[in-house]
Amino acid sequence: MAKRIQDIKVIGNDDIEVKFPRCNSKKIQNGDLFCAITGQTFDGNKFINEAIENGAVSIMTSNRNIEAPVPLLLIDDVRTGMAHASHALYNDPTNRIELTGITGTNGKTTCVNLLYSVFKALEMNPGRIGTLGWELDGKTEALNHTTPEAPDLLELISSMVEEEATHVIMEVTSIAIAMKRVEGFKFNAGLFTNLTQDHLDFHGSMPVYFQAKKRFFEMLPSHGVAVANGDDSAGLQMLKGIRADKVTFGFDAKWNVWGNIQELTSNGIKLKVGGDFGELEINSPLIGHFNAENLLGVTALCLALDVDKQAIKSGLETAPQVRGRMERIPLDGAVTAIIDYAHTPDAIRNVLQTLKPITGNKLSIVFGAGGDRDRAKRPLMAEAACELADRVYITSDNPRSEDPGKIVEDILEGTQRKDVNVIVDRRSAIKTAIEEAETGDIVLVAGKGHENYQIIDNTKFHFDDREEVLKLRKVIE
């Protein structure tokens, strides 16, 4: 294994076999390799003794001063080393399957769902990996991260290869790229949806955030396909200087694949597609301009991959509603609840702009902001909500280690209205918004979407926005 990793120095026996690379000393099992990662808040080297006690037979570290009774693998970047070690142990599974990555701030989960449906329409056996967990041939399971750590991700892809999956479609987050979770992966295609403010608590600035996304497209091989949203200001920059074939999409005839929205109603989207690959018409039950953009992006990707047009049309038109992504729940009293993952200023604005024209009476929003995350976006979220919603309920999201009340104060800095409702307890906020809703109202519960938990004081409690809504009013089928 060590021979497969560049710029590594072995101290001790270099022929030792290891079972699995792990970076959590508490999860080490007999025969594992412990990767001592130095993170933002911890130093894995402090847990080497614990790892050895738990059964680690080798240590990978960047610290040249470490001494241990087991072989040491010295490397400057432990995360890169861990990824390449995982590739070696699982015999490079990304070389043995068609792997497609979807990246961008918003729309990744929906695009993965749409592409998965297209491949199903082709009677393929696709697997998918992302925010909603993984799925293959009807089997599903939740994941701790949208894009897991390299050893877990490669183990999962390897198992999908063994289960004869034809394709794997995965969300690729900027954090995962920066943390080398997809280092060495062989993607055959990539799709860029958009870039708006998010994750600045991790990246520090928008240019650094952009570069993380850009790195994914730089990974694509010369025989690969890179598809980017030309209408987004970062789209063309994503494609600049990369090796893969470049395809642009957007709502302007100058792009390689262009879309024209024929109809946009509460019943769905009628989209005409044209450009370099010919014409296609799609009628989707999804709603909203941003979903028209998702449909167009996936169509462009499929056309670039030479997918049969009828399969594209069939797959997109029959794709099921994504849990927690503009999920409509019709309630008694002619009230509609929408559960959505929107947790950035841009996402909140997009969802509200979509819902406002189709709201029969008043449009309400319940939202908060995550703790220990980008603070700068909090007042911007409030600005979007106050501008577009008739009723605004500011509450808690996942406060984590922060004081929920202080997070609400940060959000309130972006409010210009005096009629904003502040209800810190999320359950009470949802209850109040639903109970105050009248005939023709739409109530958007934003921020958590598919999540079935709330993190308070770094403890995870069961909490599901959808369940809370269903407790309050009868669902109308």
Q: Evaluate whether 224 touches 216 at the Cβ level (below 8 Å).
A: no
**What beta strand segments (E) does 286-362 contain?**
327-331, 335-340
Distances (CA, A) of 20 to 89, 149, 150, 191, 279: 8, 12, 11, 31, 49
Q: Determine the Cα–Cα distance for residues 463 and 399; give it in Å rounded to an integer.
A: 13
Show Cβ contacts of residue 222 under 8 Å, excluding neighbours closer than 6 positions.
Answer: 243, 244
CB atoms within 10 A of CB 13: 11
Show Cβ contacts of residue 53 under 8 Å, excluding neighbours closer than 6 positions.
Answer: none
Architecture of domain 327-472: Alpha-Beta Complex (3.90)
Q: Determine the Cα–Cα distance for residues 239 and 217; give it in Å rounded to an integer.
A: 7
Among left, alpha and beta (phi > 0; psi -120 to 50; other), residue 268 is left
Phi, psi of 279 (to 5 degrees): -110, 155
Strands across the sheet containing 139-141: 139-141, 133-136, 126-130, 167-171, 98-103, 189-192, 225-229, 245-250, 257-265, 268-275, 280-284
Question: Amino acid identity, residue 79?
Answer: R
**Burial group, residue 42, by CB count within 10 angstroms (0-12, 13-18, 19+):** exposed
CB atoms within 10 A of CB 468: 20
Would you give the DSSP letter of residue 469?
H
CB atoms within 10 A of CB 438: 12
Give the CA angle between residues 135, 141, 147 to the nearest 5°.
75
pTM: 0.80
Beta bridge partners of 9: 74
Distances (CA, A) of 63 to 35, 46, 289, 303, 330: 11, 11, 51, 48, 58
The per-residue pLDDT string of the chain (477 residues; one tens digit each, 9 = 90 and over) reads 555 676 788 888 877 788 889 989 999 999 999 999 987 778 899 999 999 999 999 999 999 988 899 999 999 999 999 999 999 889 999 999 999 999 998 899 999 999 999 999 999 999 999 988 999 998 999 888 888 899 999 999 999 999 999 999 999 998 899 889 999 999 999 999 999 867 666 767 888 989 989 999 999 999 999 999 999 999 999 999 999 999 999 999 999 999 999 998 877 899 999 999 999 999 998 988 889 999 999 999 999 999 999 999 999 999 988 888 888 898 999 999 999 999 999 889 989 998 998 899 999 999 999 999 889 999 999 999 999 999 999 999 999 999 999 999 999 999 988 899 999 999 999 999 999 999 999 999 999 998 999 999 989 999 999 999 999 988 876
Q: Determine the Cα–Cα distance for residues 423 and 366; give it in Å rounded to an integer.
A: 10
CB atoms within 10 A of CB 62: 17
- The pLDDT assigned to 215 comes to 94
Distances (CA, A) of 448 to 14, 193, 402, 455: 47, 20, 17, 11
The candidate with the shortest Cα–Cα distance to 235, out of 260, 257, 202, 263, is 257
Question: Amino acid identity, residue 110?
Answer: T
The residues spanned by each domain of the chain are 2-78, 93-318, 327-472
258 token code pair: 């262009």
Q: Which fold, 2-78? A: 3.40.1390
Question: Amino acid identity, residue 192?
Answer: F
- The pLDDT assigned to 255 comes to 98
CA dihedral (113, 115, 117, 123) in degrees, to 10, reads -140
The DSSP line for 424-445 is -SHHHHHHHHHHH--TT-EEEE
Q: Evaluate whether 327 touches 339 at the Cβ level (below 8 Å).
A: yes
CATH number 3.40.1280.10 given to 93-318: no
396 token code pair: 């808690």
**Burial group, residue 53, by CB count within 10 angstroms (0-12, 13-18, 19+):** exposed
**What beta strand segments (E) does 155-298 contain?**
167-171, 189-192, 225-229, 245-250, 257-265, 268-275, 280-284
Q: Determine the Cα–Cα distance for residues 462 and 464; give it in Å rounded to an integer.
A: 7
